[in-house]
């Protein structure tokens, strides 16, 4: 990945690459496991955020957004983490706005992150 790709990337691959440096064979397995968990949990967390917005539960919204941000940090999804901060720390403000746009931004970024992670793992074979 060159400097321009790093700048445009939604994922900071430094952490994942560090796992590979320490033990190439085992590192690939660990990364696949971590990415798999991220894929499974992120879809669940996104649905929970949408449900909490619909029922206007800002307390649970903050809790789920916090878990989702932690999940995103495990794969270096920096831009996604920043988008989730709004739900975690300013849920009441999100509810005052048209929150569908905020959710759409998370959905769009999540799609980009998943694609970048799939491409990263594809190089393992």
pLDDT digits (tens, 9 = 90+) for 55-96: 999 999 999 999 999 999 999 999 999 999 999 998 888 888
Q: DSSP letter at 98?
A: -
Q: Specify if 67 maps to a domain.
A: yes
CB burial of residue 67 (10 Å; 0-12, 13-18, 19+): middle
Say which CATH number the domain at 53 has: 1.20.120.160
Q: Specify if 5 maps to a domain.
A: no
Q: Specify if 6 maps to a domain.
A: no
Q: Specify if 47 maps to a domain.
A: yes
pTM over 0.75: yes
Instruction: Quickly state the pLDDT bin for 125 (edges 50, 70, 90).
Output: low
Q: Specify if 79 maps to a domain.
A: yes
Full domain range(s) for residue 100: 11-122
Q: Specify if 84 maps to a domain.
A: yes
∠ CA(89), CA(96), CA(92), 5° rounding?
25
Q: Which residues, in sequence order, are CB contacts of 99 under 8 Å at separation 6+?
A: 53
Report the domain count for the chain. Answer: 1
Q: How many CA atoms lie within 13 A of 22 on its CB side?
A: 12
**By the 8 A CB rule, do 16 and 31 touch?**
yes
- Signed CA dihedral, 88, 96, 53, 115: sign only: negative
């Amino acid at each position: 990945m060159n400097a321009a790709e790093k700048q445009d990337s939604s994922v900071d691959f430094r952490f994942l690459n560090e796992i590979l440096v320490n033990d190439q064979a085992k590192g690939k397995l660990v990364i696949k496991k971590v990415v798999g968990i991220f894929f499974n949990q992120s879809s669940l967390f996104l649905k929970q955020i949408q449900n909490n917005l619909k029922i206007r539960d800002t307390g649970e919204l903050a809790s789920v957004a916090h878990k989702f941000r932690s999940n995103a940090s495990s794969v270096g999804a920096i831009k996604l983490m920043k988008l989730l901060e709004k739900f975690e720390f300013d849920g009441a403000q999100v509810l005052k706005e048209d929150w569908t746009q905020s959710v759409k931004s998370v959905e769009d970024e999540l799609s980009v992150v998943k694609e970048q992670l799939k491409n990263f793992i594809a190089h393992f074979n």
